[in-house]
Amino acid sequence: MTYYYEEMRRLLFDHYDLHRRDLPWRSDRNAYKTWVSEVMLQQTRVHTVIPYFCRFIQQFPTISALAHASEDNVLKAWEGLGYYSRATNLQNGARYIVSEHQGIFPFRKEDILKIPGVGPYIAAAILSMAFGKPEPSIDGNLIRVISRLHALSGLSSSSKTQKQIAVIASKMISEKRPGDFNEAVMDLGATICTPKSPSCETCPLESLCIAAHEGCPELYPGNKKTASLQRYAFTICPILYGNTVYVKKRAASGLLAGLYEFLMIPGHYDKEDLITSIKPEFVLNDASILSIEALPDSEHRFSHLIWDMKGYLIRLVYDNDLGPKPLSEKNTKGLFVPAEEMKSLPFPTAIRVYRDAVLASARDLF
């Protein structure tokens, strides 16, 4: 079995050294850049991450810079990348490192795992790639590669399968090149040993792979059937007063935490129903609705649900010169901001089509 793993590593590294992907976080293997890249790569494709990573590192070049940045600036830099809790966790982790380690990334596994938002996978990636420790990064790529090499048919999400994978991975990983090993497996899983239609004929490990010999690699690992996504209806109402737009910040936890949004009313509403629907949000005694303009319908798919959206652009006019009155206590996070200033606020991709419509409508006011 020792020979098997030695041969596997030789074949893997021969291929990796010739075909490794040129990625910006690989040119300078420090712990901070490895951490940022691995957080971004969770649930996101490499080609999408590359420009975000470069801009993020340029804007926040050090742990200290990230720790001391405003939350809005961090979320704005993340805008469009999705799964925004990753950005919040990353900043919380940076603040922890500044507070507990004087801004220097810890190098012991037990200390790295204490960083908010850092779990076993990211800790292993940092330890192997930045500090040269033989820690296998057990992600979907490695699980798939090992499951096919050994024809492990258990569900990839089961604890039994994951324990099997962990034992095998600890034997497979290179003591001399642990970071390269993890990256080589990532590249193999992303480009050759893919979930569907793997290219076994070009795989450097084909001669060692049981699933390839069986001719059915796609059967491994086993996976649960994907459940259908639940749909949620919303009416999105950007509200303009002069050259200002009403926005509110979402709660500090939950879906799209900390991002900005327009008035979002659960359900689909017609124009006639909107007046009574927005009154609880605003004190409109001295205001009239000048116009209501229909905006395009939109749909956004999250990993676990779908937003089905209708939209209306609402313009207000006030019967006095005082403008909007203070908002009710339950909505103290809402405020009117200049439309131009709205550009700098972090909005979720889900409602960007409505933000763009507001900017287009208000452009003549800038």
| Pair type for strands 334-338 and 244-249 | antiparallel
Is the CB of residue 17 less than 8 Å from the CB of residue 46?
no
CA distance 232 to 299: 10
Burial class (CB in 10 A: 0-12, 13-18, 19+), 176: exposed
Which of these is catalytic: 6, 38, 100, 183? 38
340 catalytically annotated: no
* Dihedral sign, Cα of residue 7, residue 12, residue 13, residue 18: positive
Give the separation between CA 215 and CA 200, rounded to whole angstroms: 9
**DSSP states of 108-121:** SHHHHTTSTT--HH
Q: Do the beta carbons of residue 37 and residue 49 sit within 8 Å?
A: yes
H helices present in 173-317, as ranges: 178-191, 210-214, 271-278
| DSSP 8-state symbol, 153 | -
From CA 111, how far away is CA 360, in angstroms rounded?
A: 49
What residues are labeled active site?
Answer: 38
